[in-house]
Amino acid sequence: MNWLTKTIGASIGKKLMMAITGLSFIGFLMAHLAGNLTIYGGKDAFNAYAQKLHTIGPVLKVAEIGLLVFAVVHVLTGVWLFYQNYNARPQKYAIKKSGGGRTVGSRTMPYTGLFLLVFVILHLSNFTFTDKSQTTIYEIVSSTFANPFYVMFYIIAMAVAAVHVSHGFWSAFQSLGLNHSKYMPIIMVLSIVFAVVVGVGFGFLPIYISFQA
Amino acid sequence: MTKTINITLKVWRQNGPQVKGRLETYHADNISTDMSFLEMLDVVNEQLTLSHREPIAFDHDCREGICGMCGAVVNGRPHGHQKGTTICQLHMRQFNDGDTIVVEPWRARAFPIIKDLAVDRSALDKIIQAGGYISANTGAAQDANNITVAQNIAEKAMDAAACIGCGACVAACPNASAMLFSGAKISHLALLPQGKPEAARRVTHMLRAMDELGFGNCSNERECEAECPKEISIVNIARMNREFIKAGFSSSVE
Amino acid sequence: MILDGKVPGGPLAQKWEKHRFDLKLVNPANKRKYKIIVVGTGLAGGSASASLAELGYEVKTFCIQDSPRRAHSIAAQGGINAAKNYPNDGDSIWRLFYDTIKGGDFRAREANVYRLAQVSNNIIDQCVAQGIPFARDYGGLLLNRSFGGAQVSRTFYARGQTGQQLLLGAYSALMRQVGMGRVTMYPRREMLDIVTINQKARGIVVRNIINGKIERHEADAVVLCTGGYGNVFFLSTNAMACNVSATYRCYKKGAFFANPCFTQIHPTCIPVHGDFQSKLTLMSESLRNDGRVWVPKDPKDKRPPTDIPESDRDYYLERKYPSFGNLVPRDVASRNSKVVCDEGKGVGETGLAVYLDFSDAIKRDGRETIEKKYGNLFAMYEKITADNPYETPMMIYPATHYTMGGLWVDYNLMSTIDGLFVLGEANFSDHGANRLGASALMQGLADGYFIIPYTIGGYLASSSFEKIDTAHPAFENSEMTARKQLDKLLSINGRRTVDDFHRDLGHIMWDYCGMSRNDDGLQKAQGMIQELRVEFWDNVLVPGKNEDFNQSLEKAGRVADFLEFAELMIIDALQRRESCGCHFNEAFQTEENEAKRDDKNYRHVAAWEFAGVDKSPVFHKEPLDFENVELSQRSYK
């Protein structure tokens, strides 16, 4: 298996891991968002969705463990890359300007990533690893969003997520070598569309819920 | 019509790889706008020499944008702000009277500074030595027209082969990565039928060399593509990624 | 002394094959016992290093730049000739041979030129195998274009970057050998001297450009591929580091210098536009395929070119040479530009330029077609001049481009010093008095890929070598001499910079030993050069120290050599009492102002032997026998 560690340990190998894990999070985000949209259907619809989700049992567990492993890989690889990249230029430029390649998303990847990590931990402790025996998920959500500071934090986090995926989406395709002159322009547009969907789709939920309350 | 401008230069001066450097200020007056940037530096150097100060060391050779020897970061942009241009072809008409221009060397761990603006780019040669070739001993070739290459493929290969090895991609990359340089060579040879037999070995070895030489990783910032004087596209990096995945998972090369 | 070119006997077409058989071979197992030094990594040096290492020799390769990929061959734009006859338009080895020898105005060695034409096809095969992305047709086969006045399409090209692609091919072959440990690469080294022991070249002394260390390297043979000396004119299309030092220092050690006055002035360069200018940029000759050269008929006509009606324009090349028109050889095109400018019809701010007009081609083929053919050249022109050649004619003027002269070599490419081989532009061999377009790349690669691998084996196998090391007094002497010169340059501490002297020398050479020469001018120039040389050694200012990355010191050494070499050019030009090719002495011209050869007295190579810096060099000649072609007056009417 020496070849495998050599392959994924190489610079492109690491990118490959970022791309594959990143793409799976994109898939997760889409599913998560689709599920969350049931909030607009009201309290019962949302609770029913949560119930339904738990009935699939082991599959959900596998998916959760998978996501956790991927998250660990994504974070550790990201940190490793950040460290190596930082070290690749020990003496920084006195003046450095962009030639027009970088975007807000690409420029801030490590930082938005770190922020999202904090958010995910908080988010999980708030909504997932919380005692749900006495209450429903909808109540937890609506009570959490009753706190205007948390609403603000959540909205900011969703904006940050949007920025992160605006680069991550197309970048994953590029890293996987899926850059074709016919399709890349579409992927670039989809990248922005997806970022907006994530930002607005998730970001509007707490506002909606706090108005409901 | 010839016009002249006065500018202030802040140039990185450093006596050797181990010593500390600093930005020094010089005034260049009556600079003709028809001059190239390097000719402007020549003028400054003549003045420095005549006033018994050490001229600025900078690499340059062909001065027509093809040898890849020249390169400096001008106001934060490798080879200056003009698109698709090496610093030897950057002309002073791109600047205004009274401008302050900051000139720094390529900065990367893999490119130690030799003196002032001159850096050691032998790392790029080492990447090529690791596999940036087609193993074809002299005399062994068949008739040239026995190998056909579709025109669009030949054109793509040429787009990649246009790399002049100046290192601007590394200088521009926020991670000091040499992916565009490596990707261009790997693409050029992987596209052509002649290059296919050793494609897997090539990409694996070249990439390993690149990693070992202290270059950073690619994070798809696209600064390399934006600053490349030959406007080489990151499509070539994607092709290298593809070649790498193929080599890593479906070839017998380790 | 009559020099022997060692041309093998037999019919022209069989000479090379027979010679290859006659050459002794080095046993494959013994090859690794021989050390070969290659200096320079252009097309000749890169291809020679790689090919010799492939054969098994231990090779040490030196270059002046930071990487072997940057040698000035990289700047060649147009293409490379070969007698493939793919277009089915009547080309053949014989025709390529004939065109080359005629283009050189019958001042090259027949057998060498024929061999060049013979191996031209192998070069293309080799380059394609290496992955050079030559232009191709939709069907995937190679494309050719007509170039530099040839009446057949025999030029292979890779956009306007053929030299770059061919060099990168040779470079990649070289890098492969470096990676395998068969070539040791020494970049950023400047050759200071050749070391001869028992009349054989046995090593070199170089300066490490980064730290000034003087290094000694021994070998069994030395292959010099250090290019031409065009920078003697200060302004030329050569790269800044191109110099005569390596060849000139070999000349001082006993290698004869042949035909130094044969320097090619290329007709299509961007005109000079100021005193600060450091180099000239060539616009590929391919532009003359579609561009029309003209000047206003009336010297007083100062209207913008687009306002000058057809009737007031003088398309002088089309007028004087109806059959070749704008595609006449380089020397003819250059000289005619000078003639019209001397008549006061020159255009631009300095009056030293002519128009190269694409408006008819754009009208005929459409802008898109022209853009596809020359887009990169037009963009480069606009970058340098800020004029848009799609809308207003380009302005061009001749500039020094290539030097046909070089160290004298025999058929084996060996100089008059045993074991010192000279390849590519550094030798004098194949182009005679004028080089045709797309022939330099061909010659560099022919020498490196297909000639030296055989001939060096013949030399090594038939010579005996005593064991030496770099402590030998000959190395000691070379190093001392070099060191002394470096110290001297640093100690003068005068009031003029190196570039200042170089620029002055350039003016002298351009004015008196350029496109058109006469005895008075040449004699005057000789005196001026001598004076300038004296002043240089008295008044040059070289800052810094030797043990450093000192670019002023590097330049100073090169200019010191140019100041001596320039005089040799003048002496050679004075000796040649005829006009031929690019050497145009005004006293020898036809009624139509074309070069007038004197085949009876000057059908020879002039080879000069060094006798001392302020002494006249000793003249030797190699008579040129033409058994297979008839000497004719070149006519492009």
Total number of residues shown for chain C: 637
CB contacts, 8 Å: B239 with chain A: 177, 179
The whole domain housing A29 covers: 2-89+107-212
Instruction: Tell me, yes or no, whether A99 lies in a domain.
Output: no
Q: What is the pLDDT of residues A43-63, one digit of tens each?
A: 999 999 998 888 888 899 999
Q: Which residues of C touch B130 (CB under 8 A)?
A: 179
Question: What pLDDT score does C57 carry?
Answer: 98
Q: Which residues of C touch B50 (CB under 8 A)?
A: 495, 497, 541
User: Which residue in C95, C107, C216, C330 is the catalytic one?
Assistant: C330
For C550-561, the pLDDT digits (tens) are 999 999 999 999
Query: Where does residue A170 fall: left (phi above 0), alpha (psi -120 to 50 degrees), or beta otherwise?
Result: alpha
Cα–Cα distance between C600 and C597 in angstroms, integer?
9
**C abuts B (3+ Cβ pairs < 8 Å):** yes
Read off the amino acid at residue C411.
Answer: Y
More confidently predicted of B51 and A210: B51
The answer to whether residue A81 is domain-embedded is yes
Query: Under CATH, which number does the domain B122-250 receive?
Result: 1.10.1060.10
Name chain C's partners: 3 or more CB pairs within 8 A. B
Q: How far apart are the CA of B127 and the nearest CA of chain C, in angstroms?
A: 9
Question: Residue C516's closest CA among C287, C353, C340?
Answer: C340
Per-residue pLDDT, A98: 97
pLDDT confidence tier of residue C475, bands split at 50, 70 and 90: very high
Q: What is the pLDDT of residue A95?
A: 97
Of B177, B226, B235, the CB nearest to A101: B226
pLDDT at A76 (0 to 100): 97
Q: Is it true that C267-397 and C473-595 share their CATH fold?
A: no
Using a CB-CB cut-off of 8 Å, the residues of chain B touching C161 are 66, 162
Per-domain boundaries in chain C: 267-397, 473-595
Q: Higher pLDDT residue, C377 or B14?
A: B14
**How would residue B1 be classed by pLDDT, with cut points 50, 70 and 90?**
low
Q: What is the pLDDT of residue C141?
A: 98
Interface test with C, best of B3, B51, B53, B62 (most C CBs within 10 A): B62
Residue A14 with chain B: CB contacts under 8 Å: 217
Q: Please answer whether residues C155 and C80 qualify as being in contact, where contact means their C-beta atoms are separated by less than 8 angstroms.
A: yes
Burial class (CB in 10 A: 0-12, 13-18, 19+), C429: buried
Catalytic (active site) residue C330:
yes
Q: What CATH architecture is C473-595?
A: Up-down Bundle (1.20)
Please indicate whether, in this complex, the C-beta atoms of C176 and B64 are within 8 angstroms of each other.
no
Interface of A with B (CB under 8 A): 2-3, 6-8, 10-16, 81, 84-85, 87-102, 106-107, 109, 167, 170-171, 174-179, 181, 184
Range with lowest mean pLDDT among A124-133, B150-159, B214-223: A124-133
The pLDDT value given to residue C373 = 83
The pLDDT tens digits for C162-188 are 999 999 999 999 999 999 999 999 999
Instruction: Choose the closest CB to A101 out of B217, B225, B254.
Output: B225
Candidates C497, C71, C67, C443; CA nearest to C246 is: C71
pTM over 0.95: yes
Give the type of residue at B65. Answer: G
On chain A, the residues whose CB falls within 8 A of the CB of B12 are: 94
The average pLDDT across C384-388 equals: 93
HSE at residue A105, side-chain half, CA atoms within 13 A, is: 21
> Token digits for C510?
């351009």
**pLDDT of the residue at C313:** 97
| Chain-chain contact of B175 with A89 (C-beta, under 8 angstroms) | yes
How large is the average pLDDT for residues B87-101? 97
Q: Specify the number of domains making up chain A.
A: 1
* Cross-strand partners of C205: C193, C216
With a threshold of 0.95, tell me whether the complex ipTM lies above it: yes
Q: Are C90 and C150 contacting, i.e. CB atoms less than 8 angstroms apart?
A: no
Nearest-by-CA chain A residue for B77: A97
C251 CB neighbour count, 10 Å cutoff:
27
Q: Are strands C540-541 and C263-269 parallel, antiparallel or unpaired?
A: unpaired
Give me the residue spans of the domains in chain B. 4-115, 122-250
Residue range B4-115 in CATH 2.60.120.1440: no
Give the pLDDT confidence of C484-505 residue by residue, as tens digits.
999 999 999 999 999 999 999 9
What's the confidence (pLDDT) of residue C93? Answer: 98
The answer, for B49 touching chain C at a CB cutoff of 8 Å, is yes
Chains sharing 3 or more CB pairs under 8 A with chain B: A, C
| Max intra-chain CA distance, chain B | 64
In this predicted structure, what is the pLDDT of residue C522? Answer: 98
Tell me which chains share at least 3 CB pairs under 8 Å with chain A: B
Helix then strand count (H, E) for chain B reads 8, 7
Q: pLDDT digit string (tens) for B226-249?
A: 999 999 999 999 999 999 999 999
Span C267-397 CATH architecture: Alpha-Beta Complex (3.90)
Tell me what the pLDDT averaged over chain C comes to: 96
pLDDT digits (tens, 9 = 90+) for C573-609: 999 999 999 999 999 999 888 899 999 999 999 999 9
Average pLDDT over residues B14-24: 95
C250: nearest Cα among C18, C39, C3, C535: C39
Residue A38 sits in a domain whose CATH number is 1.20.1300.10
Contact B226 A107 (CB under 8 A): no
Average pLDDT score over chain B: 97
Q: What percent of chain B has pLDDT over 70?
A: 100
For the cut 90, the answer to whether the pLDDT of residue B206 exceeds it is yes
Residue A74 lies in a domain: yes
- Whether A and C touch, i.e. at least 3 CB pairs below 8 A, reads as no
Task: Determine, for residues A107 and B221 on separate chains, whether the beta-carbon distance falls below 8 Å.
Answer: yes
Among B46, B82, B129, whose Cβ lies nearest the Cβ of C499?
B46
The answer to whether the Cα torsion of A4, A7, A8, A9 is positive or negative is: positive
